Structure 1
Amino acid sequence: MERERRFLIPDVEIVNGLAVYLVTQAYFTYIDGYAYRLRVTARTNEENVTTESVDVAMKGPRRNGERLEDEKPLSDVALAKEIIDRWPYVVIKHRYWGAIDGEAWVIDVFHGDNEGLVIAELEGTDIWGMGRPAWAGREITRDPQYNNEILARFPMRKRYRDAEFANWSATVAAEIEDPTERDDPDY
């Protein structure tokens, strides 16, 4: 069972000093909240050597910040990259991780047709008692439009006309600055 809380992030500077790797994910199905994902992760060490890994995951519908997930490593990175290169529903992001305010956060900075989107995730079993961090924007835990499988199929650039997309970050920032109307007190 995956349990997480998710927040929009207004200032990407929060990732400064955190560890980072590149994630490329293809989503092959999305039906009634169920998804099948193929992911290639590229990590570069201090000696500037990049290693890649690949995994697949089956994911159930997200309900109240929880979803079933079964993830398995695969061995053929080259084959996975060939498949992802041919698939139309892909998410590319840099994933940062590290301690912020004493908690282990993951922050995804999206690229391509989701450029400008930054999402922080906190996973664990005891995550519901905390409030929204001061550095975080609107909570999106229960908002399916920000699920990766939805972002792959319906990226932000395609949700807005091109002229609107140029100002998309400003639109999200305005939404983030006053999250009180959208925050759910039951989180």
Structure 2
Amino acid sequence: MQAPLTNRDYNPLSKLLHWLMALVIIVAWGVGYYGGAMLHYGVSDGETAQKIWAITLHKSIATTTLFLIVARLLWRASHRPPALADMPKIMEHLTHLGHGALYFLMVAVPLSGWANSSSAGYPIPVAGLFTIPGLVSKTPELTPYLVWTHWFLSWALGVTVVGHMLFALKHHFIDKDSTLRSMMLGKKA
């Protein structure tokens, strides 16, 4: 393990993985919301085709997070992040809890989507390049529970990401510390 960086600056690969995952998660969430909530099967052939396209695009984007989170966890296991900014102990605990929730949800959301598609018997594309095998066998009676689980976890991830962003902005504009700058690509904290 490396010692924490005293200047509160994350290393370049940590920054890249952070922002790449943020982009993928936000885009996948938006496309998933559009395909899942805004479009409906059977309304018209055009809307059904658009829903199928949106859900397939969502899966192609979202499945890349499975590979990114493995890379991120492996990197994080061997590279300690910089120490937290000075803050009250309760805020330190809440920060660790928030980061733990983010990591848990970054694993749980794609796994629940993978299980959901598998139970319904649908392919799981990865970035449009290849498909991964089903996580569970085709089990249509399980699908409604997995749909709900994926929906719930996705909203939990969305709320957690928004909270993460708001706290980063709080650090920058209210606390006026280097927390946000420490994660910016090409910037020093």
TM-score (normalizing by structure 2): 0.25
Structure number with the higher strand fraction is 1
Structure number with the higher helix fraction is 2
TM-score (normalizing by structure 1): 0.26
